[in-house]
Structure 1
Amino acid sequence: MGCILYEIKSLNSCLSPSTSSFLTRTKSWSMYEVRGRMIAVIALVCLILLVVYIVPSANGLSDVETVEFVAKRPVRMPKLPSTNIDNKRVMGKNSDIYAVVLDAGSTGSRVHVFQFKRTSGPLKLVREVFKQVKPGLSSFADDPKKGAESIRQLLNIALAEVPSELQKRTPVSLLATAGLRLLGEGVADILLKEVRNLIRDYPFLLDEEEDVDIMEGADEGIFSWLTISFMTGDFISGRNNVAALDLGGGSSQITFIPNKQETLDTVPKDFIKSMELFKKKLNLYTHSYLGYGLMSTRFKLLGGNKKEKQQKLQSVCLPANIVSLWTFGGIPYNVSGESQSSFNSCYSVVKDFVRQKIQAVHELQKHEIYVFSYFYDAAVDSQLIDSDLGGKLVVQDFLRAAKKAFDNPSSKKPFLALDLLYMYSLLHDGYRLRSKTKVTVIKKIEHVEVSWGLGAAFELLSDSGMIS
């Protein structure tokens, strides 16, 4: 305290009379008054530091889209005897189990943090936190380190959600989908190496060779199907009637359990995958059509060619008066319709594209069909379904909405007509569903995101010895 008073006295001679007069008055301050003013100064400095450093870092996450699910009643999992779980390895006295799944998609990266509860009966899903950032990891092909950094905020979210005492026992995986598949092995490997280096800085349980990788297209379809089948109760009941049709940015997947031997006998062998899930043996019809995701399809139908440097794309699948700027694979394109653009000419192009590769699945008619991802987004944009609840449609609804969008073009949604027409053609001309076939269009079931994340979490927990 004496040092502070001494400094104040020594400054008197250097200051103006008014300022000197003020400081002179401070000679009469008591020790308590000086202490009080020091506390005020410290508080002010702390406030400034809070504004300068902490607030900006919080704002850095403002572009992260967030969804959190907390079960009113724990969702029942497939029956897993608690005797098959190593209590000491899992958590000791704590009955909670966590899994962190990172989805490096073609249009964005997402984190799923799942919380399960181990009881004397079945394992239960209690909570899911889902958040995403854009753009996708594949957009950083020219800057792998920056690409890895785009994942950091998702890992930080997982770090905040998983209790510190459980983090070393919580398995984590990052699986990339069509975006990285389309990049090519060399470029994708460099990106994934940087991601592995980043995840090593975190305390989570990581198998570096298997848990940071490009996902097989078939697994993407299987895990999505498992998520839907489990959440609807189809898997637990053994009905095996759910079919999952996913439409991502770079690929499209179909997965279901065939009930007819004819289906097993007439499809390519690599479309059938035998596997065991929760001690159930399954023969799944599953296939991923790489290059038939919505964004890849747009690019091709607009006349795009990755081998050529193009700045302009034109197509009969855009209304004649539409001119827009569209970015694909990190490259901006000027896109526009043609003078001869029409609904019929576009449908002819789309139908030919679909039938080049998509296999007819006649048995699909008899299944309970769920469509999601971009199917859901387009249905919401065209006001076919409620944005919160999803809904049931018939296949022909996509065709009708496409005609309406083509007749009433919007500069804000220039691709809506093309997207809807492709979805109709994929279902009708590709898989050969009838126009009146019902499909359920969803984003969530019981507030859980419909994606391959939950299915991947099951495998992750199994591989790490948490469940069997």
Structure 2
Amino acid sequence: MGTESQVLGVLLVIIICLVPCSSSQSQLHRKTLKSTSTSYAVIFDAGSTGSRLHVFHFNRTLDLIPIGQDLEFLDKVKPGLSAYAKNPEKAAESLIPLLGEAEGVVPKRVRHKTPLRLGATAGLRLLEGNASELILQAVRDMFKERSTLKLEAVAVIDGTQEGSYLWVAINYLLSNLAKEYWETVGVVDLGGGSVQMAYTVSEETAAKAPNAPEAEDPYITKMYLKGTKYFVYVHSYLHYGKEASRAKILNITRDSDNPCILAGFNGSYVYGDVEYKASAMPSGSSFSECRDTVLKALNVNATCPQKNCTFGGIWNGGGGPGQQNLYLATSFYYLATEAGIADIKKPSGKVRIVDFKIAAELACKTTLEEANSFFPLIQENVLQYVCMDLVYQYTLLVDGFGLDPWQEVTVVKKLEYKDYLVEATWPLGTAIEAVSSLPKFERLLYFV
């Protein structure tokens, strides 16, 4: 009996030891699975007016999951890389603080497999000679020297990519991916140097798409998203972003007074190291005369080799249901909220395109001295352009893109996603592409 008790006692000790050991191993296994089934992506948006850092965190099904209190980490520096055209090393150095923040956000154990991408947009596209490539090489060298992240790309992204990535980002946040093409939304993104339109078309329309002008990207981008094939019409109009468009409009009147400048301003506007005269007419700004000037800047009467064109002789994609629900991003949102068209306290809002015209008519009747009382949210250093900017955005949408003035659209900065607000910008689209190509993830997005 004593021997049996001793044996039972030994077995009991072994069992007691094994249970917690097994439990610990199980917990460790679960912890390991948890840590390896998510991934981060670090994306730099090198825009024309500044550089922005985006860090995203995805689970295994490529849903966004929190980084601290938010679903993405954001920060920015000014000016943009293009401001350092004559000093590439200085351009690279401007990103060092952002890179340090990114390294601090991404856990050390996964940095070596976390995609790092930098996409430069219109600001670098507009630089002459090899200035943009010298800047990009300096950035590559800096990343390689200072970062342990997995460097994938440092490049100027073309307008087609920028528009496609934004289309993906917005439809991802709206949970539209994998739906029929007519259930998705179209996007128009007005940056500083360019404007992009992107929306889905039918396979039949895509098959009949004309060839794009020489040196331009194809009109149709084919992509697979969550097992669904989409044909996305995308076109980018370089030189027609918010800041670039001012130069275009002022160049129409050259050394003469411009009908889009508010009375009381007599000065100049500098864009791309070129100075343009920016002086009001003796009678002040005029909505109708400004609109005529903008129409000339848009080149709406250019020869159109296709049946349906936007401006500059560019095919418009044929329209259709994919374009019926439009989201207007970036400068559309900022001007709409600052001019009182939409509520600045809300991350997005529905407006009618004609609301831009109503605001423009008011703006073009004011003087520079009066403008601050009518448009208190617009920065004083750009108040002289409020008539021009509003007329341009209205005319771009109606005469440039052929949209109905009474169409309701959504101006957007952020969208709600799982009780969080996430910025509606192209870096999210490229982050999804980067992470979905990792071996442990399903390929949610890829281009054909």
Offset, 1:388: 3.1
Question: Aligned in 2, Cα 1:162/1:93: closer, same or farther, shift over 3 Å?
Answer: closer
- 1: CA distance, partners of 2:293 / 2:134: 37
- 1: CA distance, partners of 2:388 / 2:173: 32
Aligned letter for 1:383?
G
Offset, 1:322: 2.0
1:104 matched to 2:43? The reply is: no
Instruction: Please say if residues 361 and 431 of structure 1, whose CA atoms lie closer than 8 Å, have aligned partners that are also in contact.
Output: no
1:95 matched to 2:37? The reply is: yes
Aligned letter for 2:264?
N
1:402-453 deviations in Å (ceiling 9; x for gaps): 1111112346211111111111111100111111111100100021111101
What's the secondary structure of 1:125's corresponding residue? coil
Partner of 1:228: 170
Aligned letter for 1:335?
A
Please say which structure displays the higher CA radius of gyration.
1
1:139 is aligned, of 83, 90, 94, to 83
Partner of 1:243: 186
Aligned letter for 1:343?
F
- 2: CA distance, partners of 1:364 / 1:448: 28
- 2: CA distance, partners of 1:243 / 1:286: 10
Partner of 1:29: none
Offset, 1:117: 2.0
Aligned letter for 1:275?
M
1:227-286 deviations in Å (ceiling 9; x for gaps): 011111121433543101000111110111114845763654521122333433221111
Offset, 1:191: 0.3
- 1: CA distance, partners of 2:366 / 2:244: 25
Partner of 2:406: 436
Partner of 2:156: 214
What's the secondary structure of 2:384's corresponding residue? coil
Partner of 2:122: 178
Partner of 1:39: none
Question: Aligned in 2, Cα 1:464/1:206: closer, same or farther, shift over 3 Å?
Answer: farther
1:422 matched to 2:392? The reply is: yes
Question: Aligned in 2, Cα 1:304/1:102: closer, same or farther, shift over 3 Å?
Answer: farther
Question: Aligned in 2, Cα 1:410/1:450: closer, same or farther, shift over 3 Å?
Answer: farther
Instruction: Please say if residues 119 and 156 of structure 2, whose CA atoms lie closer than 8 Å, have aligned partners that are also in contact.
Output: yes
* Count of residue correspondences: 369
Partner of 1:194: 138
2:222 is aligned, of 274, 278, 291, to 274
- 1: CA distance, partners of 2:325 / 2:360: 24
- 2: CA distance, partners of 1:234 / 1:247: 22
- 2: CA distance, partners of 1:263 / 1:319: 44
1:254 is aligned, of 186, 197, 202, to 197
Aligned letter for 2:245?
T
1:373 matched to 2:330? The reply is: yes
1:383 is aligned, of 316, 323, 340, to 340
1:287 is aligned, of 224, 235, 238, to 235
Higher relative contact order (CA 8 A, sep 6+): 2
- 1: CA distance, partners of 2:359 / 2:84: 35
Instruction: Please say if residues 360 and 430 of structure 1, whose CA atoms lie closer than 8 Å, have aligned partners that are also in contact.
Output: no
Instruction: Please say if residues 247 and 374 of structure 1, whose CA atoms lie closer than 8 Å, have aligned partners that are also in contact.
Output: yes
When the two chains are superposed, the root-mean-square deviation of aligned CA atoms in Å is 2.6
Offset, 1:98: 0.3
Partner of 2:319: 363
Instruction: Please say if residues 225 and 244 of structure 1, whose CA atoms lie closer than 8 Å, have aligned partners that are also in contact.
Output: yes
1:180-212 deviations in Å (ceiling 9; x for gaps): 1110351111000100011112000013xxx00
Aligned letter for 1:433?
L
Instruction: Please say if residues 303 and 315 of structure 1, whose CA atoms lie closer than 8 Å, have aligned partners that are also in contact.
Output: no
Instruction: Within 5 Å, give how 1:150-189 maps onto structure 2.
Output: 150-189=94-133
Aligned letter for 2:366?
N
- 2: CA distance, partners of 1:317 / 1:136: 27
Instruction: Within 5 Å, give how 1:35-50 maps onto structure 2.
Output: none
What's the secondary structure of 1:123's corresponding residue? coil
Instruction: Please say if residues 252 and 297 of structure 2, whose CA atoms lie closer than 8 Å, have aligned partners that are also in contact.
Output: no
Question: Aligned in 2, Cα 1:137/1:402: closer, same or farther, shift over 3 Å?
Answer: same
Instruction: Please say if residues 275 and 281 of structure 1, whose CA atoms lie closer than 8 Å, have aligned partners that are also in contact.
Output: yes
Normalising by structure 2, we get a TM-score of: 0.76
Instruction: Please say if residues 350 and 421 of structure 1, whose CA atoms lie closer than 8 Å, have aligned partners that are also in contact.
Output: yes
Q: Between 321-330 and 437-446, report the one with greater CA deviation.
A: 321-330
What's the secondary structure of 2:364's corresponding residue? helix
Q: Identity, % of aligned pairs?
A: 34
Partner of 2:363: 405
Question: Aligned in 2, Cα 1:363/1:125: closer, same or farther, shift over 3 Å?
Answer: same
